[in-house]
Amino acid sequence: MATTSFYMTIPIFKIRFFLFLCFFGIGSSQLSSDFYSTTCPNALSTIKSVVDSAVSNEARMGASLLRLHFHDCFVQGCDASVLLNDTTSFTGEQTARGNVNSIRGFGVIDNIKSQVESLCPGVVSCADILAVAARDSVVALGGPSWTVQLGRRDSTTASLSSANSDLPRFDLSLQQLSDNFQNKGLTTAEMVALSGGHTIGQAQCSTFRTRIYNETNIDSSFATSLQANCPSVGGDSNLAPLDSSQNTFDNAYFKDLQSQKGLLHTDQVLFNGGSTDSQVNGYASDPSSFNTDFANAMIKMGNISPLTGSSGEIRTNCWKTN
């Protein structure tokens, strides 16, 4: 007696739909806002508590934690690879051109991880901690909130070469900057919104020296004031605020661009007679539209190539693999 195939008992349209799901990955694990609601219900409040304390102690830390998430997502996706120290099998990303002697906030992330591990061992990923800490930092400095999608897992490797090639340099043209973001699936409009993250924090002299001494699309008194703390030679690590209200998340960044007071070359290219001028004008006059677009762009950036399901791991320590 012939056996009946399992698939012969299922209508053909259901088989086709099942194959469609498998082919397009719709049935695979996805990020969700309530990922830890049952496995670690106090995770988000714990992260917020540590971030609020750190930012209260040093406002600049808010910008540093936001930047950590950005620099993580642009290299291998949002997988906490930026946190990994060098090993015998790979060189990490922390010595890349865009990171060396620059990215900071590792101690805050380690503090968060330690507290979350004591609550729910082996549950909350370092990649998710970075994403939530970035949101909570923005909120702590007066910026918008958004619902962070969760469920990322941590990578087991990092890539110095990818960090060197994928992180945007501070000397890019508008087209190059736009291409850099589009390579990560982000539009030019989203790039402008995300650039508004420079409304908080500071930058090192080495990143804006060429602009304040050689570029012409800069307010002369602004350039002169910066030169006092950023000599033409030396003082590479001396700091200057990225906008006129460095400790408050607002739209001052875009107003500064209108006045040719963008600190970095890649800031001022957003308002220099090009295609993004109108968007800058819009954000300068309507802070609520900036807040909305920034929050939406952060959600999209946080969805860049996450590891989910059984991929990667949940690191016990964020700076090393298990």
Query: Catalytic residue numbers?
Result: 71
138 annotated as belonging to a binding site for a ligand: no
100 annotated as belonging to a binding site for a ligand: no
| Sign of torsion over alpha carbons 130, 136, 142, 147 | positive
121 annotated as belonging to a binding site for a ligand: no
Helices (H) and strands (E) in the chain, counts: 14, 2
Q: CA angle, corner 32, sides to 26 and 34, nearest 5?
A: 145
93 annotated as belonging to a binding site for a ligand: yes
- Answer for the pair 108, 56: CB distance below 8 angstroms, yes or no: no
Mapped onto helix, strand or coil, the DSSP state of residue 127 is: helix
Quote the tokens at residue 157: 């490797």
Query: Rounded to whole angstroms, how far apart are CA atoms 116 and 121?
Result: 7
190 annotated as belonging to a binding site for a ligand: no
Query: Rounded to whole angstroms, how far apart are CA atoms 134 and 140?
Result: 10
265 annotated as belonging to a binding site for a ligand: no
- Answer for the pair 122, 314: CB distance below 8 angstroms, yes or no: yes
Of 103, 141, 133, 102, which Cα lies nearest the Cα of 115? 133
Mapped onto helix, strand or coil, the DSSP state of residue 239 is: strand
77 annotated as belonging to a binding site for a ligand: yes
79 annotated as belonging to a binding site for a ligand: yes
168 annotated as belonging to a binding site for a ligand: yes
250 annotated as belonging to a binding site for a ligand: yes
For the residues of 16-81, what is the DSSP string, one character each? Answer: HHHHHHHHHTTTS---BTTTTTTT-TTHHHHHHHHHHHHHHH-THHHHHHHHHHHHHHTTTSSSSG
For 157-210, strand residue ranges (E) read 202-204
81 annotated as belonging to a binding site for a ligand: yes
Instruction: Output the known binding site.
Output: 72, 75, 77, 79, 81, 93, 168, 198-199, 243, 250
Instruction: Output the known binding site for heme b.
Output: 198
Instruction: Output the known binding site for substrate.
Output: 168
